[in-house]
Each structure stands twice: as structure tokens, then as C-alpha cells.
Chain A
Amino acid sequence: EDALLPAPQNITILSTNMKHFLTWSPVIVQGETVRYSVEFQGEYEREYANESWIPISECSLITGTVCNITEDISATVAYNLRVRADVGAQRSEWGTLKGLFNRITTSLTPPLMKVIADGYHLLVELEDMGPAFQFRVLYWKKGQERRVLQKVVKEVRSVVHLDTMEAGADYCVKAQTYVEAINRSSSFSQTQCVRAHGDKSMWL
């Protein structure tokens, strides 16, 4: 098994909203299909398991240059990742991520949000971003910016009821995500305001 085949380069992690993808530059071998395999190593493996590496079966001998490692980056510790290339009997050395990756550094984007005035009820529809996410929703009556109310939504099921509105008043809403596992929040979404529709259909 000689190592003429160059190791994959430019190994990076793209991590947004707790979804983590490993990417690398393709290894070019004219007329050949190059395949790649990915392995990871958590702090536990480095410190207590002889620096062992664990293969990711979904990214073993793949032809693409992206691997979804979200399932395996499942603790808030530092992870190491590496990729190697295979062409026929040729196998490259491992290309290793520069520096370690901790999910605490994931970038958090504001949630997509839709505010609804259903009769006199102030409702909000939030994007389902997965089990790691909670939402902090702030809402207030326009003109009473000092009396902001808050609701923490732990599980996104359907429309969330915020409040019962007074006729003719405008109500404004904004939201941010919160990820307990890394104790971080996104920035707030754009503010959306609505007014109670007195004549629309009512409850029940």
C-alpha cells in the first residue's frame, strides 16, 4: 500500500445551527474515481482511549467531499477529524482538520417566524430547528416598548398562543433561539407587528 496518493486538503467544518458538516478539496486523479473515508476522535478518545479514532460509516469510501458529522458531534467537547483518499489499491495518508472543533462555536441564526392575528389572539408560528433548540419570544404592545413580555417555547409543535389582544392595538413580536447544550443564543429576528381583527372569525 504505497502513499503516492496525496492526502485531502483544505479540511474544514461548516457548522450552522448545530448542524456540522466536514468538507475538503477533491483529490484529482485523471480517469479515476477517488473515494474518501472520514473518522472522528472526541476528547474521551484522546484522553482515555489511546487516542483511538472512530470511523463514520455513512462517510466510508464515499465519492463526495462533504460529510454530515452532526450525529457524532454529540457532546460539548473538542473533536478531531480526519479524511483520507482511496483509488483502487492506492491509499493516501490522513488529512487532519487544523485545530479541534467544539460545537460551542456553531453559528446560530435568528429563527424564521410568522406572527398571526387570529381574531383577538396573538399567535406565532416558529420554524422547527430540531430538538436542540428553544425559542425566546418577546412581544409588546406598540407604544409600550417598556412593557415587553416574554415566552419561552421549548418544543415547536404548531402555532403558539402568546396573548389576547385589545381591539385596535398593534402588537409587535421578535424571537431568538437558545441552545441549552452550549448555553448560547442567536440574535433576534426581525420584528413583526400585527393588529387585532375585530370582525374575523372567533374561537369555537
Chain B
Amino acid sequence: TAGNKIFHFGACRVSTSMTEIRAGFTAIKANIQARDPIRSLSILSYPHSLHKVKSSDRCCITHHLFNFYVDKVFKHCRTEDSFVNRKISSIANSFLSVRRKLGQCHEQNQCMCGQESTEKFKQILANYEGLNVTSAAMKSLGELDILLDWME
């Protein structure tokens, strides 16, 4: 089905149309990853995988990452390909809904940020700022499945 998934981050419950986001990404994955020639750096997994994050910090990291993609990534991924642009728009607008719910959790103190998630997110930003904007944005978009796999 459209595969809404309810993510439970402690008290914070976030309903996400995961299948729609996945379908959108799968449709453009090869195209986007082909635009990223850098094999030696990963924005999300370097130096440590997201899977190493403590479960108590998962909500905060997820909230940070959705803000990261909405504020920094999608807008720098415009391509010459109308189909790719439409799928990016689909993902970006789906991210908006999820980010809004995560933001509500954050305001209700259900999405606390520990030391680890703060450190991890700083590392992600450092990885991102280590490249020029377009390369960093395209690499981040190409790693969306790393985030989705980790969330699921």
C-alpha cells in the first residue's frame, strides 16, 4: 500500500509515507548517484555509520537530518532532467510533512538531543561543507537510502 509507516521515537510517533518516498528515490537513484563521482567520502556514513547512534538519540538525529535535507540539500539538486526534478519535488514535499511532525515532537520535548547525536550531526555538516555545495547536495541526495534504511 502507500505504506505509511508509524515511527516510534520514544513518546514521539511520526507517520511517514515511506513507500512513496522510497518509490520516488528508487526512480532517480541511479541518475543521482551517477552524478557523484566521489567514492572516498560519505556524508552520512563517514566516519561512523548511522547505525552506531544510540536509540535514545534516534529521534534527535532524525529531526536534524530532515531539517538538513529540507534546508540544505533539495534546493541545490535541480537538474536538467524534468523527470528527476519532479521526483525530487515529491520527496522534498514528503519530507516537509515528516519534518513538521518531528518539529512538534521536539517542541514537546519528546525528541531530546544527547551528546552523541549532536556530535554525529556536526560530523555530517562537516562532511557536507567539505565539498562544494552542488556536489555535497547531490551526494547527500544519493545517500537518501542510507537514511531510509536506517530509519526502517
A and B touch in the complex (CB under 8 A): yes
Say yes or no for A158: interface residue by CB 8 A criterion.
no
| Alpha-carbon gap, A186 to B64, bound state (A) | 36
| Alpha-carbon gap, A10 to B4, bound state (A) | 34
Say yes or no for B71: interface residue by CB 8 A criterion.
yes
**Closest beta carbon of chain A to B152's beta carbon, Å:** 16
Q: Which residue of B lies closest to A57 (CB)?
A: B82
Provide the main secondary structure of the chain A interface: loop
Provide the main secondary structure of the chain B interface: helix
**Closest beta carbon of chain A to B78's beta carbon, Å:** 8
| Alpha-carbon gap, A77 to B99, bound state (A) | 12
Q: Which residue of B lies closest to A153 (CB)?
A: B1
Number of residue pairs across A and B with beta carbons under 8 Å? Answer: 80
Say yes or no for B97: interface residue by CB 8 A criterion.
yes
Q: Which parts of A22-66 form the interface with B (CB within 8 Å)?
A: 40, 42-45, 47-49, 52, 54-57
Binds A, one of B13-21, B55-63, B127-135, B136-144: B13-21
Say yes or no for A109: interface residue by CB 8 A criterion.
no
Say yes or no for B150: interface residue by CB 8 A criterion.
no
- Which one of B17, B75, B83, B85 contacts A75 once the chains associate, using CB atoms below 8 Å? B17
Assuming the contacts A49-B75, A77-B96, A131-B2, asked whether A44 and B86 have C-beta atoms less than 8 A apart, the reply is no
Interface band, chain A:
20 to 34
Q: Could you tell me which A residues sit within 8 Å of B by CB distance? A: 40, 42-45, 47-49, 52, 54-57, 71-72, 74-77, 79, 131-134, 154-155, 179-181, 183
Query: Can you list 29 A-B contacts (CB < 8 A)?
Result: A42-B89, A42-B92, A42-B96, A43-B93, A44-B93, A48-B70, A48-B71, A48-B74, A48-B92, A49-B74, A49-B75, A52-B78, A54-B86, A57-B82, A72-B86, A74-B24, A74-B93, A75-B17, A75-B20, A75-B97, A77-B96, A77-B97, A131-B19, A133-B2, A154-B1, A180-B3, A180-B17, A181-B4, A183-B15
